[in-house]
Structure formats: C-alpha cells, structure tokens
Structure 1
Amino acid sequence: MTDSAECRGSGQLSRSGLFSAGRIGVSLLFLANGFATGSWAPKIPEFAHRLSLNEGALGVMIMIFGIGSLLMMPMAGAAVARLGSGRVSLLCGLALTPMLLLVTVAPERIGAAVAMFLFGGFIGAMDVAMNANAVTVEKTMRRAIMSSCHAFWSLGGLIGAALGGYLIEALGIRGHAVFATVAVGLLIVAAWPLLNRDDKPAGAGEQREPLRLPMTPLPWLIGMIALFAMIPEGAMLDWSALYLRNELGASVTVSGFAYAAFSLTMAAMRFAGDFVRDRFGPVRTLRASAALGMVGLFVAGLASDTTVALIGFAIAGIGIANMSPIIYSAAGSIPGVPSGIGLSVVTTLGYSGILFAPSIIGFIAAHSGLDTVFMFMPLLALAVLALSHLVRHAERT
C-alpha cells in the first residue's frame, strides 16, 4: 500500500471511528433513558393529587422508585456478564418503554407502588447495561465516548422535562404518557440495528466462571468514588433552589435558576468531556473536575447573594459533569472483573448516595442551615481527589 493510500485509509478509520454505528446506537439509548426520566418530573403533581398523596406518602413512592433501581442494578450486571451488554440494554429498554404509561394509569396506591418499583428498576437496569455497552464501544474505538453518552442522557432529561408541562396541558396526562411511551419506543427501535454487540457471552462449548460479587477491593473503592461524586449532584437537584429561596431571599423564578445554571454547564461540559479526557487522561481530568467542583460548591456555600451563588453552581456543574462518566469507564474496565459486574457495584453504590443523601442533608439543614451543607460538600470532592488515581483503567490508548 502506498503512503497516500495509507493516509486515506487512516482518515477513513478516523471518521468511521468518530461517528461509528455503535456510538450512535448507545447514545440513542442514553437519550431514551434520560427522556423517560425527565418525562416523569412534570407528572409528579398530578400523580400526587390523583392518589391523594401528601408529602410523606409521595416521598415513600419516590423511595420505592429508588429501591427498584438499587435491587435491579446488580441483576442487570449479572445479565450483562451472561448475555452481553447490547442484548440486555435492548431488553431493558423495551421493558422500560411502557412503564411511564403504567404509572399514569395505576388506579390506586398499591398498583402505583408496583409501577413505580418497576419504573425505577428498569431505569436502573438499563443504566447499568447501557454504560457497559458504552465501555465496550470505548474499547472497540479506543477513544473516550462516555462523557458524550452522559451528555445525551442530560439532553434527554431536559427535553422530557421541558416538553412535559406543555404536552400535559395540550394532550392531557394520558396523552402525554402515550407520547412519551411512543418516543422512548422509537428511540429504542432506532438503536436496535446500530448497537455494538462485541461483548458477546461465552459460547455453549466454552466454560463460564460462576458470577459472584468481586472479592478484590478495587471495584468497591471505585464505587466509593461514585458515591462521593454523586451526592453533590443529587444535592443540587433537591436543595439548590430551596437554598436560594430560603437562605438568600431569591424569588421563586430566580430560585429555579439554581439547578438550571448547574445542569446547563454540566451538559455542555459533558459534550466536551471526551475530548478533554482523551487529551489529558482520566486521572488528570478527574482531579481537575474534583478541584473545580470543590471551588464551585465552596463559592455557593459562602455566597452572600444569589448572583454569587449561581456562579458557584455553574462552576460546580463544570466540575461535576465528567466525574461520573470517568468513574463508569473505570468500573467497566477493571482487569479480571466482568464489565457488567464492576458497573453494577459502582452504580449501586453511587445511586445509593442520591437515594439516601437527601434525607440526611435535610436533617443537617434543619439544624445548621443549607449554607453549611454546601460549605462542607467540598469535602466529598476532596475525597474524590484523593482516590482519583484508581480510575487509571479508564485510559484509552
């Protein structure tokens, strides 16, 4: 082959690698999962009113959603190790498709609780499987794609939440549920022929080792990094608006900008995160991200007015954006640990922080104020910084 032919071939590989079918397929799965999650948010007031749920009872329903996720994540990890991430991602996506409609038509509390358990369960199971598939695509392409996948999840969530209120008003609560169901289903169908299936399970004649929780400490330590990284992300969702409203005297409109500032910079940074990680490596990128997260959270906690607090939230979004994608890539690439098993351990530990931290934060805030919470939140980012060397397996060469 001539030099010019080699150059042309290299260019073709580069272009096909950058926009490979596998990357498009898994990105569609992230978009679908995010859209389903975001579409749930505007339905909450009607859900509570229809079932006569007070704040406590609604909290129990949301807790059931989280418990479903935590229980089905390890099951999905085992299924990925047996069946492959592509197949399990599609099966979980198909199972998730009608769940929002099921929650919408549930006639009483018991049925709604079952629907919420299944909705949360398949959201979590699909999360494990599609992250495992993204790791497979990364290994095949030998380039980082996890941050952009999570950016598509954020984009789906924003679209689902933004369209939800308008569609509920225009089509009614059931019309909106039907629309969301069809949209998620179409995204899953579009991903079907594109999805990477290189992590095929062992054949019938090959010996497969029994699946068990990893005995080595590395997956659990990376899971602790995920826990420390995801607690601040959950705190932003649940407490940032209340912090501006109650402690800095912001209006209802301005207080709504708190999570918007955080999520906007987070989504933008996730689209840029793969390039940054490929350029500087996962360890240095995670360290820089943790440092920026610490600065943003500290600025928000010390803020004397809403403008400074919003700047702090925006900086925190830049920092926190790529922490989870890097951690997930590392979890799916631990030597000697099946990708699905490593990811199920890490996602379960990470999401347990989002599930249980809000109540702990509420208890602390009741006694010392939310400003204290945000001032001490950087300690979690400091823990991520201290353990950042453990994500070296996310390196793509």
Structure 2
Amino acid sequence: MEMRVETPLADAGRSGYLPKERLAVWLLFLVNGFIVGNWAPKIPEFAERLHLDKSELGLMILVFGVGSLVMMPVAGMQIARLGSARVSKISAVLLVPSILTLTFTQSVPMAGIALFLFGGFVGGMDVAMNANAVAVERKMRRAIMSSCHAFWSLGGLLGAGLGGYLIEHSGPTVHAIVATAIAAVMLAVAWPIVHMDRPAKSSVDETSRARLPLKPLPWLVGAMALFCMVPEGAVLDWSALYLRQDLGANAGVAGLGFAAFSLTMAIMRFAGDLVRDKLGAVMTLRICTVIAMIGMLAASLAPDPTMVILGFALCGIGISNMVPIVFSIAGNLPGMAPGVGLSIATTLGYSGILFAPSTIGFIAEHTGFSAVFAALPLLQAVVLAFSGLARYADAGEHHETVAQRV
C-alpha cells in the first residue's frame, strides 16, 4: 500500500486562486487567440493582394489547417522531452511575427509556405499551452482549463476587433506592426512567470512515454475531443445558412445563431472552472453534454428562427466546458507524457473543425440542415457514454502516482 503525503506546497497551491503561473498561462492563451483573431479580418486583403479567387483562397486556408495538424504531434513529442514551458515559449516567439510575414508576402508560393508555418506555430503552441495549463492545474489542485479557453476566445475577439478597425483606418502595414507589438508585450509579461514543468527523464521508460502510443485509451480520448468539436464546427460554419435557407431568416437574424452560441460559450468558460471545482469533472462533463444535446436537438426541431437561436445558445452553454475537460483528461492520462496525450486530442479534435464542415455540407445538400443538426447529438452521446474518463481530469496527483508505478 502506498501512502500519499500532502505537503505545505500542495496546500499552498490549493489555496492560491491567482498565482503568477495561472496569469502566465492565461496570457499564453490570450496571445494565441489574439494572433488568430487578427488573421480573420486580414483574409480579404490577403486574397486581394495575391489575386486569389474563392477556391484558391479555400486551398490557402486548408494549408493553414494542414500546418496545424502536422505540427501538433511534433509539439507533443517535444513537450515530453523539453517540457511544456519551453515549447510554449519557442512556438510563441515563432508565432508572434506571423502577421507581419503574411502582410509582406507578395507571391503565392511564399504565401503558402507562410500560411503552413503560421498554422504549424498556432497548432504547436496550442498543444504546448494546453499542456502547461494541465501542469498548472496539478500545481494548484484546481481546475483552470475552462478559463484558459475563455481567454483564447477573448483574445480572438480583441484581435478581430482591433484588426478590422486598423486595417480599415490605418492600412494593413500599420495593423501588422501594432498587432505584433501588442502580442510581443503580452508574451514578454508572461515569459518570466510561465510555470516551468519538468520534462520526461532520459530513461528508456520515459522516452517511450514521449512517443505516440499504441494503446487505445488516448485515442479514445482523442475521439471524444473530435465528437465535441464537430458540433462546434457545424454551428460555426452552417448555422447562418441553416437559418437563412431552411427557416427564411434575413441576413441580420441569420448571424445571431452563431453569435448566441459564442456568447453563452464564452460566459460559461469563464464560470466553468468554478463549476468543475464544485461538481467534479465527471459530473460537469455529463451535465454539459446533456445540455449540449438538448440545445442541438432544440435547434434542429425548432419551427422558427427565434427558437433556433435559443437552441444554439443552450448548445453553447453545454459545449463550453466539454472540450476543456476532455483536454484535461488527455493531459492527465496515466503512464503518458501530457504533451503526447494532448497532441492526439488536439489533432483529432481540430481535424473535426477543419474537415467535418465539408462533409456536413455534402450531407445537408441531400437531407437539409435540420436533419444534420438532429444527428449531431449522436456524437455527443458517445462523449456522454465515456464521461467516466473525466476522473483523470480531476486527478493530477493521481496521475503522478500512477506514472511512478508504470
């Protein structure tokens, strides 16, 4: 029998609500979201400068997604060797100048390379900062993942708003310089206080923990991430068209579906850590999944746009904390370096947002969007069925104990 001794440091971590390490990881998420947010309003200027039509622009954006998916597993393996703090810092330093690079690129081939690297740095930093959030959760003995994702959403909102304003009033060059400077300042504040987690030791056992695993558990958690994020991508890409074409909403009302979804998601992500600390990850995941299923069904069966918008708002409440909890599960799987589990979850999860929308569009062409949205709760039911795995999300200290036995 093995006894665990609570140390004063653990108790201090449990009592501190806003230590510097938590502020640092919030800033990492804010920087990542801010850079991505600044890219969104830049896309029209980027396409015009390079004379891209819609299909060519679509291929360019796909290159961004491929870059992310390629780099995520690489980042996961490097996190196991170097620690999440070092990989977060390296990827952030490479990411911050990306808007400048995309602004001054003048040829299509170079723009493709720049977008691939941009996506790769975004994806690599995404895995690393999520792994760092897991490490801070363990140190604090409390949930922080939902608020981290809320800060990513906040960064995206700030970046998109600032980017759109500066491009319109000052031009793309000024926008790129200002956005890069702001991101660099935020990174500079975070830099000295990022939680320095320990990389895997250089033994045979620990090195094997840094490789992509063959056992099914991490891939099951990755599938859970995929099934959480496909419905999110469906609302992002198809909610407006569903309201417009199937229910006859005007353009202004059609955009409110995703707006309501995003608003409730952001609010609940800021509140999600408190809920999870109160109820535990398993119960929180189950409640959120059921709410998401009810919201999606309500949106799919609603007879008018108002009820559809309310359904998407309810769905946002549910989905808000599903992905953060699944990422916490992936980062706390026993006998596995956190970055490896997270790289699987992020790669599979974000592939759902990148590639599922085209499949959904093809199916909706033959069945209508209502049928598609009605079927999406089946994916969420899989997450509900395996929600017991969320016990790992609450068990940072248990993860360390188990890992020592493996």
Which residue of the partner structure matches residue 179 of structure 1? 178
Which residue of the partner structure matches residue 6 of structure 1? none
Per the TM alignment, residue 16 of structure 1 is displaced from its structure 2 partner at its CA by 6.3
CA contact (8 A) 1:245 1:252 kept: yes
> How far apart, CA to CA, are the structure 2 residues paired with 1:249 and 1:306?
8
Deviations 1:254-285 (A, max 9, x none): 22222111111000000111111111111111
> How far apart, CA to CA, are the structure 1 residues paired with 2:234 and 2:101?
29
Q: Which moved more, 1:45-54 or 1:123-132?
A: 45-54
Count of paired positions: 387
Per the TM alignment, residue 13 of structure 1 is displaced from its structure 2 partner at its CA by 3.6
CA contact (8 A) 1:222 1:391 kept: no
Give the TM-score of the pair, scaled to structure 2.
0.92
CA contact (8 A) 2:143 2:277 kept: yes
Per the TM alignment, residue 215 of structure 1 is displaced from its structure 2 partner at its CA by 2.2
What amino acid sits opposite 1:74 in the alignment?
P
Which residue of the partner structure matches residue 255 of structure 1? 254
> How far apart, CA to CA, are the structure 2 residues paired with 1:145 and 1:170?
38
Deviations 1:330-375 (A, max 9, x none): 1000110000111111111111111110110110111111122111
Which residue of the partner structure matches residue 365 of structure 1? 364
Per the TM alignment, residue 244 of structure 1 is displaced from its structure 2 partner at its CA by 1.5
CA contact (8 A) 2:200 2:337 kept: no
Alignment of 1:61-76 (within 5 A): 61-76=60-75
> How far apart, CA to CA, are the structure 1 residues paired with 2:66 and 2:48?
23
Which residue of the partner structure matches residue 314 of structure 1? 313
Which residue of the partner structure matches residue 285 of structure 2? 286
Which residue of the partner structure matches residue 329 of structure 1? 328
Relative distance call for 1:236 and 1:121 in structure 2 (3 A) is: same
> How far apart, CA to CA, are the structure 2 residues paired with 1:392 and 1:16?
21
Relative distance call for 1:246 and 1:229 in structure 2 (3 A) is: same
3-state SS in 2 of match to 1:335: coil
Which residue of the partner structure matches residue 108 of structure 1? 107
Which residue of the partner structure matches residue 400 of structure 2? none
Per the TM alignment, residue 192 of structure 1 is displaced from its structure 2 partner at its CA by 0.4
CA contact (8 A) 2:25 2:148 kept: yes
Q: Which moved more, 1:131-140 or 1:43-52?
A: 43-52
> How far apart, CA to CA, are the structure 2 residues paired with 1:332 and 1:380?
22
CA contact (8 A) 1:292 1:319 kept: yes
Aligned CA RMSD, in angstroms, stands at 1.8
Q: Which runs of 5+ in 2 are unaligned?
A: 1-7, 398-406
Q: Which moved more, 1:12-21 or 1:351-360?
A: 12-21
Which residue of the partner structure matches residue 402 of structure 2? none
> How far apart, CA to CA, are the structure 1 residues paired with 2:58 and 2:294?
32
Per the TM alignment, residue 201 of structure 1 is displaced from its structure 2 partner at its CA by 4.5
CA contact (8 A) 1:218 1:390 kept: no
Is 1:131 paired with 2:160?
Answer: no
Which residue of the partner structure matches residue 94 of structure 2? 95
Which residue of the partner structure matches residue 162 of structure 1? 161
> How far apart, CA to CA, are the structure 2 residues paired with 1:178 and 1:257?
32
Per the TM alignment, residue 306 of structure 1 is displaced from its structure 2 partner at its CA by 1.3
Per the TM alignment, residue 163 of structure 1 is displaced from its structure 2 partner at its CA by 2.1
What amino acid sits opposite 1:33 in the alignment?
N
What amino acid sits opposite 1:149 in the alignment?
C
What amino acid sits opposite 1:183 in the alignment?
I
> How far apart, CA to CA, are the structure 2 residues paired with 1:365 and 1:208?
47
> How far apart, CA to CA, are the structure 2 residues paired with 1:390 and 1:39?
36
Per the TM alignment, residue 38 of structure 1 is displaced from its structure 2 partner at its CA by 1.2
Deviations 1:122-173 (A, max 9, x none): 0000000000000000000100000000010011111111222111111101
> How far apart, CA to CA, are the structure 2 residues paired with 1:233 and 1:276?
21
Which residue of the partner structure matches residue 35 of structure 2? 36
Which residue of the partner structure matches residue 84 of structure 1? 83
Which residue of the partner structure matches residue 122 of structure 1? 121
CA contact (8 A) 1:85 1:132 kept: yes
3-state SS in 1 of match to 2:52: coil
> How far apart, CA to CA, are the structure 2 residues paired with 1:359 and 1:59?
11
What amino acid sits opposite 1:341 in the alignment?
V
Q: Which runs of 4+ in 1 moved over 4 A?
A: 205-208
What amino acid sits opposite 2:168 in the alignment?
E
Alignment of 1:292-311 (within 5 A): 292-311=291-310
**Residue identity (%):** 57
3-state SS in 2 of match to 1:75: helix
Is 1:220 paired with 2:219?
Answer: yes
> How far apart, CA to CA, are the structure 2 residues paired with 1:375 and 1:164?
36
What amino acid sits opposite 2:229 in the alignment?
M
> How far apart, CA to CA, are the structure 1 residues paired with 2:46 and 2:299?
33
> How far apart, CA to CA, are the structure 2 residues paired with 1:199 and 1:146?
19
Which residue of the partner structure matches residue 380 of structure 2? 381
Give the TM-score of the pair, scaled to structure 1.
0.94
Per the TM alignment, residue 44 of structure 1 is displaced from its structure 2 partner at its CA by 1.4
> How far apart, CA to CA, are the structure 1 residues paired with 2:32 and 2:24?
13
Relative distance call for 1:218 and 1:206 in structure 2 (3 A) is: closer
> How far apart, CA to CA, are the structure 1 residues paired with 2:185 and 2:179?
10
Relative distance call for 1:76 and 1:213 in structure 2 (3 A) is: same
What amino acid sits opposite 2:218 in the alignment?
P
Which residue of the partner structure matches residue 20 of structure 2? 21
Per the TM alignment, residue 199 of structure 1 is displaced from its structure 2 partner at its CA by 2.4
Q: Which moved more, 1:340-349 or 1:194-203?
A: 194-203
Relative distance call for 1:267 and 1:113 in structure 2 (3 A) is: same
What amino acid sits opposite 2:145 in the alignment?
M
Q: Which moved more, 1:243-252 or 1:288-297?
A: 243-252
> How far apart, CA to CA, are the structure 2 residues paired with 1:40 and 1:241?
21
